[in-house]
Amino acid sequence: MVAPTPPTLDPKELNKFYINGQYVSPVSKETYILRNPKDDTIVADAVPVGGPEDVDAAVAAAEAAFTGPWSTFTAAQRSECLRRLADILEDKMMDILTLDSLTTGNPVSLIPSREKNYIKSNLLYYSGWTDKQKGDYYPADDGFVKLVRHEPLGVCVGINPYNSPVASFVIKAAPCLATGNVLIIKPSEKSPLGSLALAPLFEQAGFPRGVVQVVCGDGRTGALFAKHMRVRKISFTGSVATGKKIQIAAAESNLKRVTLELGGKSPAVIFEDANIENALTWTINGILARSGQVCVAASRVYVQESIADQFIEAYTQRMKDAALRLGDPQDPETTLGPLADAASFARVQAMVEKGKTEAQLVVGGVQHGPSGCFIEPAVFINPQPNAEIYKNEVFGPVAVVKTFQTEEEVLELANDTEFGLMAGVFTRDINRALRVSSKIDTGVCGINCISYMNIQAPFGGKKASGIGREFGEYALRSFTEPKTVLIK
């Protein structure tokens, strides 16, 4: 079967689900409107919300695909499909990612420089893993030969965030499919269009129909998947509050496997011997990426007192200058766009207003321009110990800078949080760098860098920042179950 493609990439035509190799009209009749956050214009006026029948249909098709032709694909065939998909996306990526720019505010300037290579690299990386996840053999010294092999879980569901919808789709799909599973994607209700446009390209790349499907909707649709008795794994990227609900639903249904990549409040620790220019570059980029709407945003900056005045002056000026880069995200020259929607804008504004009573606002935090969801990058200093702006994830271009005197002090400050996703240590002293990085309670810690992920190494958080890991060989483990075979 040749996979259908939309007649155009007009977002108003992507008002169906992609189930079992075709675009289908939803059983549920509930729809909602998507708007462009730069000017509140309507992008799509009838985006469907998946209901119980729609979810059941996708799961049934996924099960049929898992036990059907897909189960006979060799590792080499799976690898070929992933590589072919990477080739297909070479020409289609710009159009697909531009769809999501219309509803997220992500600048299209990021597509050729970051998104395209990132997505393609994920597909090519896991195409090389399809035949390399080895098992184990233990000798029969007790009369039993012991074999261990890694088997796919079956029907997996990816529930994705709005900030990087297609990249998140591929981050989950590549290891999931490399290990022989099938996947249903529930994109964020704020950014479903790129995922719907991407879906049929999997069949064009050679994957059987039903192996990859997309059902959009809001949290109610995600909840249906989380508690579905025929789903074997949920991979969720999003907020801590929603992650907790998914874990509860998974436990109360069929104890399905869960990977949770949740929020962060990442500390960047700048010691007095650091390369100041390098530290400025990384910390500024780490809070402005996607207008601060990333889980690894460098939102807490700790600066040693002896260099604090110098660093804060330069940091504040660069954040002030960044406001000049705010503009139309569909303009290829724009590098900093708006927040994703009016709800996100209102939330960040409310946190900034409260922050003014708990810390000192030195720059930004106001609406940029007469309309749209643009907010000027903000810097707070001298926060109260329990200030909301200091303790909670903002998910916007808002940073808090605090000074410290000793290594012991800053470790206590950096670890005084329930988040534990990303951190950065800036120093020229390699012994200090390794010592401090080992004591910061996070899943990832950069030395002289921050807010960076590498596909070869596991990515994920500690504490409330999540469960499980993505990227590298570790992602393959999360999509398989070891089976022990005993031979007498």
Residues annotated as part of the active site = 261
How big, in percent rounded to 5, are the helix, strand and coil portions of the chain?
A: 40, 20, 40
- What are the tokens at 334? 């724009």
- Dihedral of alpha carbons 357, 362, 368, 369, sign: positive
Looking at residue 111, the DSSP 8-state letter turns out to be I
- What are the tokens at 301? 């900056």
What residues form DSSP beta bridges with 233? 156, 257
Residue that has been written with the tokens 């000793």 in this structure: 406
Cα–Cα distance measured from residue 454 to residue 432, given in angstroms and rounded to the nearest whole number = 23
CB atoms within 10 A of CB 379: 25
Give DSSP secondary structure letters for 39-61: T--EEEEEEE---HHHHHHHHHH
CB 378 within 8 Å of CB 403: no
CB 213 within 8 Å of CB 18: yes
Question: H/E element holding 138?
Answer: strand 136-138
The helix/strand/coil state of 379 is strand
Looking at residue 113, the DSSP 8-state letter turns out to be I
Cα–Cα distance measured from residue 96 to residue 110, given in angstroms and rounded to the nearest whole number = 13
Sort residue 65 into left (φ over 0), alpha (ψ -120 to 50) or beta. Answer: alpha
Cα–Cα distance measured from residue 230 to residue 182, given in angstroms and rounded to the nearest whole number = 12
